[in-house]
Amino acid sequence: MTLLTPDICVIGAGSGGLSVAAAAAAFGVPVVLVERGKMGGDCLNYGCVPSKALIAAGKQAHLMQGGAAFGIAPAEAEVNFRQVMKHVEATIAAIAPNDSVERFTALGVQVIQEEARFKDGRTVIAGDYEIRARRFVIATGSSPLVPPIQGVDDVPYLTNETIFSQTRRPAHLIVVGGGPIGMELAQAHRRLGSEVTVVEALAALGKDDPELTAFALRNIRSEGVNVLEHTKVTQVEKRGRSGVRVHVEDTDGTRSIDGSHLLIAAGRTPNTASLELDRAGIQHDRRGIKVSDKLRTSNRRVYAIGDVAGGLQFTHVAGYHAGLVIRALLLRLPAREDRNIIPWATYTDPEIAHVGLNEEEARKSHRKISILRWPYCENDRAQAERKTEGLIKLVTDRKGRILGASIAGANAGEMINFWALAISRKLGVRDIAGYVSPYPTMTEIGKRAAITYFTETTRKPLVRAVVRFLRRFG
Ligand SMILES: Cc1cc2nc3c(=O)[nH]c(=O)nc-3n(C[C@H](O)[C@H](O)[C@H](O)COP(=O)(O)OP(=O)(O)OC[C@H]3O[C@@H](n4cnc5c(N)ncnc54)[C@H](O)[C@@H]3O)c2cc1C
């Protein structure tokens, strides 16, 4: 055994762990990074990057069929699925050097490619190394959760860890789970020519406001994805040589659906099993490692960040957590997580994005709120682009401070940046109404929504007339 005594030992080289390790090295702090799989973690290899590359390919195919409205004859896209997956692979390969062992070693990080486990409260074992660090940061991420469906162990199924290495287009992909991952992959596969069925036990995209998800669901269904909501998968079995039969149950009774491939996208489970956390006195449950708002675990030497910390599971959250831990460990500055400022986006078409409180949460925590809406169809750029399906919905308090923003529509994932800044800086509708937005841009939709605050809260006819004018020309 080789004994290492760095200042910081990071476990997991994904979105969170890499950021901590890079920052520590930049400050000249001795740091060891332990990774058991591929550098870059889920986001680069099995998550955000390949899924967004596949979505981009699907979008390209879809655009070819959508020219009629612009006076351009629609063309049937000829999809070469193998080449599509080469594009996915090439996208990962283009980004991978940023996360590589070579790059991190050059930055001054000691990278150990082994699985880590705790020996005791201040020691981690990784292969032939015993690491006794001043502080540990657990950033081990999460894995696909496979629900205990009858027969699941006897059928071949795909998860996010295997679907991006398929080289043949699934003839009929059955997706178990209608959350963001399931719906993004369902729409992308449909656009690339697969028949697709999604089975969701509750409401599809159920973590977002139904007023907004309705836009995405309507479009996804109109493209031919069969989305079954409030439908439970009761059993799966093999059909023929490589197919699958999925038995489902809803209020009308039971039936079965035959497909060629099964994708399980039914949630995530934290990667804690191999860490032997109990030896280090680190409390955890099935949602993840328990952390304080400073991301400290029940062992004061140990922090946990990203997916494994049991909160919102996004790359930018892992990055945000990494920033907080760096503040605390390297700069000794106060650092508390503020979940309210964290945006998220689902990259279906149309996209759905949200930050802050939704209407229901705001009603619970505030006595009086305003809901401000503006539809995409009232935006000139959206008309020109023929992207008129969508809505922005703002939630403000009595004084007009922005509490939350939700957008469904084209570029929602880009537009939510603006609102994430507005909420983190505690801006109000007056700030939004007072800035100048270039015309014609879709971001103007938000400004228009903010201006409606004044019509909603005033009874003075002159003010209403001015606001009407501003809404038209402001
Ligand atoms: C299909 C899909 C699409 C997604 N799309 C998006 C998106 O568009 N935007 C977004 O923000 N998020 C997206 N996510 C979520 C995002 O991928 C995760 O939130 C993010 O990767 C979490 O980062 P992390 O650092 O916590 O964990 P990870 O990036 O998963 O890294 C954890 C690392 O720890 C390693 N590890 C685990 N246990 C050990 C051990 N005992 N010893 C050593 N190493 C270990 C793992 O091998 C892994 O490399 C998506 C996820 C999926 C599955």
Q: Encode the chain (474 residues) as per-residue pLDDT tens digits.
A: 999 999 999 999 999 999 999 999 999 999 999 999 999 999 999 999 999 999 999 999 999 999 999 999 999 999 999 999 999 999 999 999 999 999 999 999 999 999 999 999 999 999 999 999 999 999 999 999 999 999 999 999 999 999 999 999 999 999 999 999 999 999 999 999 999 999 999 999 999 999 999 999 999 999 999 999 999 999 999 998 889 999 999 999 999 999 999 999 999 999 999 999 999 999 999 999 999 999 999 999 999 999 999 999 999 999 999 999 999 999 999 999 999 999 999 999 999 999 999 999 999 999 999 999 999 999 999 999 999 999 999 999 999 999 999 999 999 999 999 999 999 999 999 999 999 999 999 999 999 999 999 987 665 666 666 666 665 555
Examine residue 83 and state whether it is found in any structural domain, yes or no: no
Over the Cα atoms of the chain, what is R_g? 24
> What is the rounded CA–CA span in Å between residue 324 and residue 330?
10
Residues 202 and 232 grouped into a single domain: yes
- Residues 40 and 14: beta-carbon distance below 8 Å: yes
Tokens of 322: 């990494």
Q: Answer yes or no: is the C-beta of 179 below 6 A from any ligand 1 atom.
A: no
Strand partners, 175: 198, 263
What's 302's domain CATH number? 3.50.50.60
Residues 263 and 281 grouped into a single domain: no
Q: Which atom of ligand 1 is nearest to the CA of 274?
A: 41
Examine residue 410 and state whether it is found in any structural domain, yes or no: yes
- Residues 266 and 285: beta-carbon distance below 8 Å: no
Examine residue 74 and state whether it is found in any structural domain, yes or no: no
Residues 158 and 305 grouped into a single domain: no
Question: 3-class SS at 196?
Answer: strand
Q: What does the angle CA 143 – CA 133 – CA 294 come to, to the nearest 5 degrees?
A: 60
Q: Answer yes or no: is the C-beta of 276 below 6 A from any ligand 1 atom.
A: no
Examine residue 191 and state whether it is found in any structural domain, yes or no: yes
Residues 152 and 118 grouped into a single domain: no
> What is the rounded CA–CA span in Å between residue 225 and residue 191?
9
Phi and psi angles of residue 452, each rounded to the nearest 5 degrees, phi first: -65, -20
Examine residue 179 and state whether it is found in any structural domain, yes or no: yes
Residues 208 and 119 grouped into a single domain: no
Residues 233 and 288 grouped into a single domain: no
- Residues 318 and 16: beta-carbon distance below 8 Å: yes
Our mutation pick for probing the ligand 1 site, out of 34, 46, 48, 143, counting the most ligand atoms within 8 A of Cβ, is 48
Q: Which among 278, 306, 331 is the end of a domain?
A: 331
Tokens of 468: 């009407």
Residues 250 and 175 grouped into a single domain: yes
Q: Which among 267, 290, 312 is the end of a domain?
A: 267
Residues 11 and 140 grouped into a single domain: yes
Distance 101 CA to ligand 1 centre (A): 17
Distance 311 CA to ligand 1 centre (A): 13
Residues with Cβ within 8 Å of residue 240, at least 6 apart in sequence: none
Q: Which amino acid is at 66?
A: G
Tokens of 51: 């899924």
Q: Which atom of ligand 1 is nearest to the CA of 313?
A: 19
Q: Answer yes or no: is the C-beta of 10 below 6 A from any ligand 1 atom.
A: no
Residues 245 and 392 grouped into a single domain: no
The whole-model pTM stands at: 0.95
Our mutation pick for probing the ligand 1 site, out of 125, 315, 324, counting the most ligand atoms within 8 A of Cβ, is 315
Q: Answer yes or no: is the C-beta of 406 below 6 A from any ligand 1 atom.
A: no
pLDDT at position 378: 98
Contacts of 30-33 with C-beta under 8 Å, sequence gap 24+, read: 30/6, 30/110, 31/6, 31/7, 31/108, 31/109, 31/110, 32/4, 32/6, 32/8, 32/109, 32/110, 32/111, 32/112, 32/129, 32/131, 32/133, 33/9, 33/104, 33/109, 33/110, 33/111, 33/112
Residues making up the binding site for NAD(+): 177-184, 200, 267
Examine residue 337 and state whether it is found in any structural domain, yes or no: no
pLDDT at position 241: 86
Q: What does the angle CA 434 – CA 209 – CA 290 come to, to the nearest 5 degrees?
A: 100
Range of the structural domain that residue 251 is part of: 146-267
Residues 282 and 134 grouped into a single domain: yes
Alpha helices (runs of H) in 96-179, residue ranges in sequence order: 101-107
Give the count of domains, the chain.
3
Distance 307 CA to ligand 1 centre (A): 7
- Please name the residue that has the structure tokens 């399980």: 264
Examine residue 61 and state whether it is found in any structural domain, yes or no: no
Q: Answer yes or no: is the C-beta of 181 below 6 A from any ligand 1 atom.
A: yes
Distance 36 CA to ligand 1 centre (A): 13
Residues 233 and 327 grouped into a single domain: no
Q: Answer yes or no: is the C-beta of 133 below 6 A from any ligand 1 atom.
A: no
- CA 342: distance to chain centroid? 11
Residues 236 and 314 grouped into a single domain: no
Nearest residue CA, atom 52 of ligand 1? 47
> What is the rounded CA–CA span in Å between residue 10 and residue 20?
7
Q: Which atom of ligand 1 is nearest to the CA of 126?
A: 42
> What is the rounded CA–CA span in Å between residue 418 and residue 427?
11
What's 397's domain CATH number? 3.30.390.30
pLDDT at position 455: 81
Tokens of 8: 């910081």
Q: Answer yes or no: is the C-beta of 272 below 6 A from any ligand 1 atom.
A: no
Examine residue 46 and state whether it is found in any structural domain, yes or no: no
